[in-house]
Amino acid sequence: MDAAPEVISCRNVLVYLGPDVATKVVAALAECLAVGGLLILGAVEVPARMPAVLEPFEPTVPGAFHKRPSAHRARRLAARPGAG
């Protein structure tokens, strides 16, 4: 199995897409991105609806987001023997 990318840069692309398509593209990129990975978008290209697994990387860096574990995945990892 191929490893998920840790960094995806998608600058100056979403601006050419409609809002619904841009939202779908960002969701697909978030799905592919490794947990803890970084998604870099253009500062003005951030869709209004961002996937819940993405959160701003740093407040001073607009357009940069990192992927956090989903709530389902976090519960599953915590339930592993020896976790915690």
pLDDT of residue 26: 95
Supply the CATH number for residue 50's domain: 3.40.50.150
The answer to whether position 53 is within a domain reads yes
8 token code pair: 């995806």
pLDDT tens digit at each of 84 positions of the chain: 478 899 999 999 999 999 999 999 999 999 999 999 999 999 888 888 899 999 999 888 889 999 998 755 554 555 556 554
The answer to whether position 1 is within a domain reads no
pLDDT of residue 73: 55
Number of domains in the chain: 1
pTM of the model: 0.76
The answer to whether position 45 is within a domain reads yes
The answer to whether position 70 is within a domain reads yes
pLDDT of residue 2: 73
The answer to whether position 17 is within a domain reads yes
CA pair distance 57, 76, nearest whole angstrom: 24
The answer to whether position 83 is within a domain reads no
Distances (CA, A) of 6 to 30, 37, 40, 66, 67: 11, 4, 11, 9, 9
